[in-house]
Amino acid sequence: MPTARGAAGVATDEAAKTVRIGAGMGFYGDTVRGALDTARHGDVRYICFDHLAELTLAILQKDRQKDPSLGYTKDIAAIARALLPVCAERGIRLVSNSGGLNPAGARDQVLAAARELGLRGLRVATVTGDDLLPRIDELRAAGVAVDLPERVLFANVYLGARPVAEALARGADVVITGRVADASLFLAPLLHEFGWAAGDWDRLAVGVTAGHLLECSAQCTGGNFSGDWWNIPDMDRIGYPIAEVTAEGDLVITKAPGTGGRVSPDTVKEQLLYEVHDPAAYANPDVMVDFTGIRLVHCGPDRVRVEGCRGRPAPSALKGLIGYTDGFLGVGMMGYAWPDALAKARRAEWIIRRQMADSGLAPEAVHVEYLGFNALHGPLADPAGAAELNEVFLRIAVRTRTREEAARLGRLFPPLSLNGPPFIGGLSGMLPVRELLGQKAVYIPRELVEPWVRVEVTEAT
């Protein structure tokens, strides 16, 4: 296919104006190696990073409780130092929701890395407005039913792609956001490049589908694959997916040449169905997507064409996530070896439960699992082979209202080494008590959110 160098310094198909977008990461703590391979060998114009699972905001809140200057994903500094030199040379622009609860903090990390690398003039944008906590009373006065738990720690709403596209239009080399929906990070460059209108639902659906397929890094290039995973080549250097998208809405998923992994209809299909409640109505702030008519067509080595994306008008309300304190977690563990490892662990559980009752420890919830038997399979664990298990760890977790109550559980475990079933090793005993954060979803009319979204661009000096 004939190509010409675009303004960003990467390949652009003149006839169809194909834009190539690479996946940067699938979660906070993912490796940067895939993004580096894509930047060096993928011939992409953009790389987008999805740092935020719903759980991640709780992790960032715990960071912010310890240090108010935190609240962003701390891996953004290392990512910036690794990628910025390559991206500056090749004209690749980065989009990331690493800002979490503190986009300005993440921006400052990127700017500091740019200064260290001598990249004066690098433009870093922040997208804010997802933080609803300062506006809770205002939203209630507007008639929004926000039923808040007693101790709210954060309240953030999922924004869409348009403010990110605005940041790109204003010349940002790096865009840092808070809680922008995962797939919307990838849709934003397409809005910027192609100018797709708000009512162009089918093309918007293509962009969201591309984002959904790329948001979990190697999960559509053979990572976490439940098919013939043993045949996936070179998983030690697995390539991250790349979306090739045209202005007309054609979509192909591929990866950088020379990288490991596999792009096939089956690997793509697994990611397509991942975290999808209703495949006929995949909700996103920008468009409601119908996956049911999608066809995955193998169109070359490590190339899959995605056809049949259909979209409907975007939801009138945006999803918000409220985080709140939800008690404390106490955990105790004890390991037992063959013979009768599971039977020993079960007797130890019986002892602990009796001692909890005798001591007046009455937690709000108790969770018991036997690591080595049912920690992953739960009630589906097959008891047939239980007698031959080499080792089993009893793990009991409780939720309590106070830290002191939670700590009482762990103290019951060490005496079992001499006062319980036969024991020769594997003691874990008391584990540190942790504060628990609960989460609940709310829905906010978008007209009460979008006017408060702000885009700010800062240049490294």
At 35 the pLDDT is 97
User: Integer distance in angstroms from the first to the last C-alpha of the chain?
Assistant: 40
pLDDT above 90 for 387? no
- How far apart CA 443 and CA 184 sit, in angstroms, is 18
Provide the pLDDT for residue 14.
Answer: 45
Q: What is the mean pLDDT of residues 38-42?
A: 97
Q: What is the dihedral of CA 422, 427, 431, 436, to 10 degrees?
A: -60
- So what's the pLDDT on residue 429? 78
For range 437-442, the mean pLDDT: 90
Per residue in 183-194, pLDDT (tens digit) is: 999 999 999 999
DSSP 238: B
Residue 313: CA atoms inside 13 Å, Cβ hemisphere, count? Answer: 3
pLDDT level of residue 40 (50, 70, 90 thresholds): very high
Q: Which of 4-18, 80-94, 196-210, 223-237 has the lowest mean pLDDT?
A: 4-18
Query: How high is the pLDDT of residue 145?
Result: 74
Q: Which of left, alpha, beta for 330 (phi over 0: left; psi -120 to 50: alpha)?
A: beta
Does 380 have pLDDT greater than 60?
A: yes
User: Within a 10 A sphere around the Cβ of 272, how many other Cβ atoms?
Assistant: 20
In this predicted structure, the answer to whether residue 34 has a pLDDT above a threshold of 90 is yes
Residue 268 has pLDDT above 90, yes or no: yes
Q: What pLDDT, in 10s, does the model give residues 205-249?
A: 999 999 999 999 999 999 999 999 999 999 999 999 999 999 999
Region 158-177: what's the mean pLDDT? 98
Share of the chain above pLDDT 70, in %: 97
Please name the residues in contact with 351: beta carbons below 8 A apart, sequence gap of 6 or more.
416, 419, 420
Q: Quick one: pLDDT at residue 16?
A: 54
Confidence label for 385 from pLDDT (cuts 50, 70 and 90): confident
Name the residue type at position 414.
Answer: P
For residue 11, the model assigns a pLDDT of 42
pLDDT reading at 15 higher than 70? no
Q: Which residue has the tokens 């018991």?
A: 368
Banded model confidence at residue 12, pLDDT cuts 50, 70, 90 = very low
Query: In the structure, what pLDDT confidence band is assigned to residue 326 with cuts at 50, 70 and 90?
Result: very high
On average, the pLDDT of the chain sits at: 93
The pLDDT value given to residue 33:
97
Q: Is the pLDDT of residue 5 over 70?
A: no
* pLDDT tens column, 50-68: 999 888 999 999 999 999 9
**Which CATH code for domain 323-440?**
3.30.70
Residue in the structure block whose two tokens are 């409907």: 312
pLDDT band at 3 (very low <50, low <70, confident <90, very high): very low
Q: What is the pLDDT of residues 276-300, one digit of tens each?
A: 999 999 999 999 999 999 999 999 9
Average of pLDDT values for 3-9? Answer: 36
* 335: enclosing H helix or E strand: strand 317-337
The one-letter code for the residue type at 269 is K
Q: Please report, for residues 5, 17, 19, the alpha-carbon distance to residue 2 in angstroms, rounded to integers and kept in the order given.
A: 10, 11, 14
DSSP letter, residue 196: -
SS3 179: coil
> Could you give the 3-state DSSP secondary structure of residue 293?
coil
Report which of 258, 208, 215, 210 is spatially closest to residue 234, judged by C-alpha positions: 258
Residue 262 has what pLDDT? 98
Model pLDDT, residue 10: 42
Segments making up each domain of the chain, as ranges: 4-122+173-315, 323-440
